[in-house]
C-alpha cells in the first residue's frame, strides 16, 4: 500500500512515520517550505519558483505520483491544483482518495458562531468558499477525516463517511518532564499559530492581571520558532495554554500532554461529554481564564497530577500504533 500525503502540516508528517512502522509506504509532501522548518519526506519548494514554473512542477509531480502511489490522502482540503482539476485525473487513473480536514478549511463561520460565542474564524475562509471546496471534494471522495468533534459537526452531512481520529503522537519521542511539586514560580507557555484565532489577547491580559496581583510565575509566548525549538520550550514549561476560542484542543495540547504538562484549553460545553472521561485538560474560556490560571499557578500538586494524567491520556488515545491502525482500516475500505 503506497500512500501520498499532501500538501502541508506537521500532523501529517507524524502520521506518515506511524504508518511506515505498520508497513504502509506513506510519504509526506509539503508543496512549500514552512517557516517552522518542518521536515516532510518531500518538499517541492514551490514558494521559491516563478508562477509558470510552479504550474509545470505541479503537473510533473502529479504525473509522477500517479505512477508511484495507490492512495492520495489530502490534508486541509488541498489537492495538487488550487482548482482541484487533478481530482478528475486521479479518478480516471483509478486512484483511491481521501480528504483530511484540520480546522479553518471547514469551520463554517455562520455555523461556528451559532454554537460558540467566543469563536473567531479566518476572514478568507467564508461560508461560500468552504461550501464550494467541500462540494468538489465530496464529489470525488466518500471518506473524510477530522481530529475532533468540533470539526465533525461542520461536515457530518457532506460526506458519506466522516471519521473522527485524534492527532497521531509518537509518545516514545516525548520524554515527560512533570511539573515539580515544590515549584512556586511555574513557567507558563502559550504557542499560538494565530493570535486572532487562539484568543491570545485574553491570555496576555490574564498574565498582566495576575502579575499585578503579586502572583509568582513566569510567562513565555512561543512564536515564529522552528518546530524543535518550540518543543524544547514546551518541555521546560509547567503549564501550557493552548487556545480559548475554538472549542476543541489542538496539536499543541497533544504534544504538551505527551510531555507531561497540564494543559488549559477551551472545550465547548456541548462537546465535553463526547470526549473520553479521562481527558485531563483544564477547561477555560475568555471569561474564566484569569481564575482558572490563578488556581493552577497556586497548586503545584494539581499541576503534577494533571501532567501525569495527560501523559496517560495521550498514550491511550493519541499514540502512533493505535492511530495508524485506524487509518489503515479506512484505507482498506476505500
Asked whether residue 125 falls in the same domain as residue 228, the answer is no
pLDDT value of position 184? 84
Question: Nine-digit cell at 225?
Answer: 520558532
pLDDT tens per residue, range 134-146: 999 999 999 999 9
Asked whether residue 204 falls in the same domain as residue 92, the answer is no
Domain limits at 295?
172-317
- State percent of the chain over pLDDT 70: 100
pLDDT band at 229 (very low <50, low <70, confident <90, very high): confident
For residues 21 and 59, state if they share a domain. Answer: yes
Q: Which comes out higher in pLDDT, residue 238 or 167?
A: 238
62 and 140 share a domain?
yes
Shared domain for 80 and 106, answered yes or no, is yes
pTM for the model = 0.90
pLDDT score recorded for residue 294: 97
Q: By three-state DSSP, how is residue 179 classified?
A: coil
CA dist list (Å): 208 to 44, 138, 288: 43, 46, 15
- What does the pLDDT read at residue 228? 83
Question: Is residue 131 located within the same domain as residue 63?
Answer: yes
Domain identity same for 18 and 51: yes
Q: What is the pLDDT of residue 36?
A: 72
What is the tens place of the pLDDT at every residue in 268-280? 999 999 999 999 9
Query: Do 156 and 240 have their domain in common?
Result: no
Whichever domain contains 32, its CATH number is 3.40.50.2000
Q: Report how far residue 94's alpha carbon sits from residue 334's, in angstroms, rounded to the nearest whole number.
A: 12
Are 148 and 214 contained in the same domain? Answer: no
Judgement on whether residues 13 and 34 belong to the same structural domain of the protein = yes
Domain count, the chain: 2
- For residues 209 and 160, state if they share a domain: no
* Residue 96, CB-side half-sphere exposure with 13 Å CA sphere: 13
Cα(82)–Cα(88) distance, integer angstroms: 13
CA dist 315 and 304 (Å) reads 17
Residue 203 pLDDT greater than 90, yes or no: yes
Q: In the chain, how long is the greatest CA-to-CA distance?
A: 66
pLDDT digits (tens, 9 = 90+) for 87-130: 999 999 999 999 999 999 999 999 999 999 999 999 999 999 99
Tell me the pLDDT of the chain averaged across its residues.
94
Same domain, 293 and 277: yes
Query: Does 227 have pLDDT greater than 80?
Result: no
* 72 confidence band (pLDDT: 50, 70, 90): very high
pLDDT tens figures, 22-64: 999 999 999 999 877 888 999 999 999 998 899 999 999 999 9
Calpha distance 53→51 (Å, rounded): 5
Cα(68)–Cα(168) distance, integer angstroms: 25
Amino acid at each position: 500500500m503506497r500512500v501520498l500525503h499532501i500538501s502541508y502540516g506537521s500532523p501529517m508528517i507524524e502520521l506518515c512515520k506511524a504508518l511506515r512502522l505498520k508497513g504502509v509506504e506513506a510519504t509526506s509532501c509539503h508543496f512549500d517550505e514552512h517557516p517552522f522548518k518542518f521536515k516532510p519526506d518531500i518538499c517541492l519548494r514551490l514558494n521559491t519558483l516563478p508562477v509558470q514554473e510552479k504550474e509545470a512542477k505541479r503537473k510533473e509531480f502529479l504525473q509522477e505520483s500517479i505512477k508511484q502511489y495507490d492512495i492520495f490522502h489530502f490534508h486541509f482540503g488541498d489537492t495538487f491544483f488550487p482548482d482541484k482539476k487533478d481530482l478528475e485525473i486521479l479518478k480516471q487513473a483509478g486512484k483511491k482518495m481521501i480528504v483530511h480536514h484540520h480546522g479553518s478549511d471547514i469551520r463554517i463561520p455562520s455555523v461556528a458562531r451559532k454554537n460558540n460565542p467566543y469563536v473567531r474564524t479566518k476572514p478568507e475562509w467564508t461560508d461560500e468558499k468552504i461550501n464550494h471546496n467541500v462540494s468538489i471534494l465530496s464529489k470525488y471522495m466518500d471518506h473524510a477525516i477530522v481530529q475532533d468533534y468540533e470539526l465533525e459537526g461542520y461536515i457530518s452531512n457532506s460526506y458519506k463517511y466522516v471519521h473522527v481520529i485524534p492527532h497521531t503522537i509518537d509518545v516514545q519521542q516525548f520524554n515527560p518532564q512533570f511539573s515539580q511539586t515544590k515549584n512556586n514560580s511555574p513557567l507558563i507557555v502559550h504557542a499560538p499559530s494565530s493570535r486572532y484565532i487562539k484568543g491570545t489577547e485574553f491570555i496576555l491580559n490574564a498574565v498582566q492581571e495576575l502579575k499585578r496581583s503579586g502572583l509568582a510565575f513566569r510567562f513565555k509566548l512561543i512564536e515564529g520558532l522552528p518546530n524543535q525549538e518550540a518543543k524544547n520550550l514546551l518541555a521546560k514549561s509547567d503549564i501550557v495554554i493552548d487556545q480559548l476560542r475554538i472549542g476543541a484542543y489542538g496539536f499543541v495540547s497533544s504534544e504538551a500532554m505527551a510531555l507531561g504538562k497540564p494543559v488549559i484549553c477551551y472545550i465547548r460545553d456541548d462537546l465535553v461529554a463526547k470526549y473520553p472521561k479521562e481527558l485531563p485538560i483544564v477547561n477555560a474560556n475568555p471569561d474564566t481564564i484569569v481564575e482558572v490560571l490563578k488556581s493552577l499557578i497556586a497548586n503545584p500538586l494539581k499541576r503534577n497530577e494533571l501532567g501525569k494524567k495527560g501523559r496517560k491520556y495521550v498514550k491511550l488515545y493519541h499514540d502512533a500504533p493505535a492511530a495508524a491502525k485506524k487509518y489503515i482500516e479506512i484505507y482498506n475500505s476505500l
